[in-house]
Amino acid sequence: MDIRIIKKFCMAAKQAFLFMVLLLPALLVILPILLLLSGSLMDIWELGKYISPAFTEGKEFVSWKLLPDYPTFTGYGKLLFETPEFFVLFWNSMKLAVCILAGQLLVAVPAAWGFAVYQVRESRGLFALYVVLMLLPFQVTMLSSYLVLNKLSLLNTHQAIILPAVFSTFPVFLSYGGFKSIPCQMLEAARVDGAGEFTVFVRLGIPLGKSGLLSAMVLGFLEYWSLLEQPMAFLENKYLWPLSLYLPQLTWGQAGFAFCASVITLIPAVFVFAIGQDYLEQGIIYSGLKE
Amino acid sequence: MQKKKRRFFYLFVFPGCLGIMVFVLLPFLDVVKRSFTTAVTGEFSGGKNYEAIFQNQAFLLAVKNTVRFTLICIPVLVALGLGTALLLSGLKKGRLLKAVYLLPLAMPTATVALVWKLVFYKQGFFNLFLTRLGLLTGLWGEVHREYLGTAAAFWVLVGSYIWKNMGYTVVLWLAGLSGISGEMLEAARVDGAGSWQRFWRITLPNLKGSLYTIVILSFLNSFKIYREAYLTAGAYPDQSIYLLQHLFNNWFVNLELDKMAAAAVCTGGVLMSAILALQRLWENG
């Protein structure tokens, strides 16, 4: 037999084997999503029958069917048409995420441009401080934020979540990576042609460095869509809560509701993920860019 | 020119700096001041708050658990990520798989928590799976183990951290791997280096830069595990997963602001020096 054919076959077999090995962990990602989807399409009785062993004493296990016996959209219908509170929470989540991202665009993107383009003596030290601030967990700065929000009497308003997040330094770090990849001769050429510094920023910087700031937006949206610590600490009024804080409060008695609400919460995140995946990968790489 | 540069640097950076001053740095000074005073009257109390937290059982437990979690999770994640990235880079059509690995990053914690509860309850899917496996292989019988309420909760948390951050790490490693020149590897191969030798002598040393990055970002993400811990096990979980984040939150709820201030100063200080030390290493490495 031709040795080339054997070699080719070996290659293909190796590829197939690799694929199988790597598919196993991928299943651990896909199965939870399927579980949520199928659960959201079951009626209350079917769902109850499957999951009730989980929280009753006994030896019986939970069971499941990925294809429900009686698939139905009533769960969604109830949620969307008979529960106006759900919309309030959904829009709270949207408002928080969108306002934070818009604020970051205005504040963090120019700052990143400043760090990337105008290197002065102080910029190194200041940038190191930004990195440290980026890595401090919320709990360490929680008391500081509380004190200042209290003083400005912003507690229990959405601004209490939005304002501190706008000044987060993570998007500065990401956008910096994008701006840093623009060759400086190009900016110099624009300046020689008579463009002012702001024109250079708006006309050259933003279009050329957009992958950095878009990735900051994508990663930011995913982060702020599942806000938990901040609203838990600073929002008392349940009507101001985002979905991410409300969902876990549902009990097993409302399991059908919980499944539908989970799927609807999942949709915007997966949508942003799908359209932004390239930027997301780029952003993860920028976030790891060595100075 | 330098003067003009400086003017524009401050012009661009100033709004962000101002916000950070108002929302983080200035109030942190207030926290430092509070860490030396009593909570109610605001009298100067010296190092009493610091003494109190270092004698506080909950604080010591939380520090121990947080350190243990970090020390276990980060090496496991880094190593598993590298292994997966190496396998993926050998695969021709890896793009779809990479997307699937990244997907947990996009899944809101609140939805994941619902699934984790169903999986790890005593009668949940994980025990069901183990029971079926036992029946299939004939090695063991039915499994009715408790996970979330016992020390096993720690490992559930480790697992969900790795589940969530695997894609992130794999993408970073892949970026590092693609930065290694193929010519160098090819030259080594021609010179007769085996694949293990090539890996140890060329691939690994060239990934040193990526390693620092991945460690720092894994560290950053390790604090976010609190969401999973809180949502699956509540504010007072099994003591194996009682983390610093739980403690801060409970102090906050109970308005024990003096202890909180002292602990925030300590934790912030330790983290800051750890980060600066890593940065030094990073720049020299």
Interface check for A172 against chain B (CB to CB < 8 A): the answer is: yes
Cβ of B249 and A60 within 8 Å? no
Q: Six-digit token pair at A168?
A: 């987060």
Mean pLDDT in consecutive groups of 10 residues from the start of chain B, 285 residues: 81 89 88 84 82 90 93 94 89 81 86 85 82 82 79 90 90 84 83 84 82 83 88 85 91 88 91 83 68
Cβ of A197 and B8 within 8 Å? yes
Q: Could you read off the pLDDT of A86-110 as tens digits, one per residue? A: 889 999 999 999 999 999 999 999 9
Q: Report the C-alpha gap between A236 and A245 in whole angstroms.
A: 11
Enumerate residues 167 to 186 of chain B having a beta carbon within 8 A of any beta carbon in chain A. 168, 171-172, 175
Cβ of B97 and A287 within 8 Å? no
Mean pLDDT of chain A: 85
pLDDT score, position B274: 85
pLDDT score, position A288: 64
Q: Which of B122, B113, B38 is nearest to A248 (CA)?
A: B113
Distance from CA of A229 to the nearest CA of B (A): 8
Q: Could you read off the pLDDT of A205-218 as tens digits, one per residue? A: 888 888 888 888 98
pLDDT score, position B113: 85
Amino acid at B31: V
Distance of CA A192 to the CA centre of its chain: 41
Q: For residues B122 and A152, which has the higher predicted lDDT (pLDDT)?
A: A152
Q: Report the C-alpha gap between B266 and B260 in whole angstroms.
A: 10
Cβ of A140 and B268 within 8 Å? yes
Q: Report the C-alpha gap between A231 and A166 in whole angstroms.
A: 15
Q: Report the C-alpha gap between B114 and A270 in whole angstroms.
A: 17
Q: Map out the domains of chain A as residue ranges.
A: 3-55, 77-287
Q: Can you count the helices (H) and strands (E) in chain A?
A: 15, 0
How many residues in chain B? Answer: 285
Residues A103-132, mean pLDDT to the nearest whole number: 88
DSSP B158-184: HHHHHHHHHHHHHHHHHHHHHTS-HHH
ipTM value: 0.85
Q: Could you read off the pLDDT of A247-283 as tens digits, one per residue? A: 887 777 777 888 888 899 899 998 998 888 888 777 7
pLDDT score, position B79: 94
**If you measure CA to CA, which chain B residue comes closest to A149?**
B23
Residue A291 scores a pLDDT above 50: no
Give percent of chain A above pLDDT 70: 97
Enumerate residues 74 to 103 of chain A having a beta carbon within 8 A of any beta carbon in chain B. none
Q: Report the C-alpha gap between A91 and A239 in whole angstroms.
A: 11
User: What's this model's pTM, rounded to 2 decimal places?
Assistant: 0.87
Distance from CA of B184 to the nearest CA of A (A): 22
Cβ of B94 and A135 within 8 Å? no
Residue A123 scores a pLDDT above 90: no
pLDDT score, position B158: 93
Choose which CATH entry (1.10.3720.10, 3.40.50.800, 2.60.15.10, 3.40.50.150) describes domain A77-287: 1.10.3720.10
Interface check for B78 against chain A (CB to CB < 8 A): the answer is: no
Q: A–B: how many Cβ contacts below 8 A? A: 275
DSSP assignment letter at A58: S
Residue corresponding to tokens 């993400």? B221
Domains of chain B: 62-265 (1.10.3720.10)
pLDDT score, position A284: 73
Give percent of chain A above pLDDT 90: 20
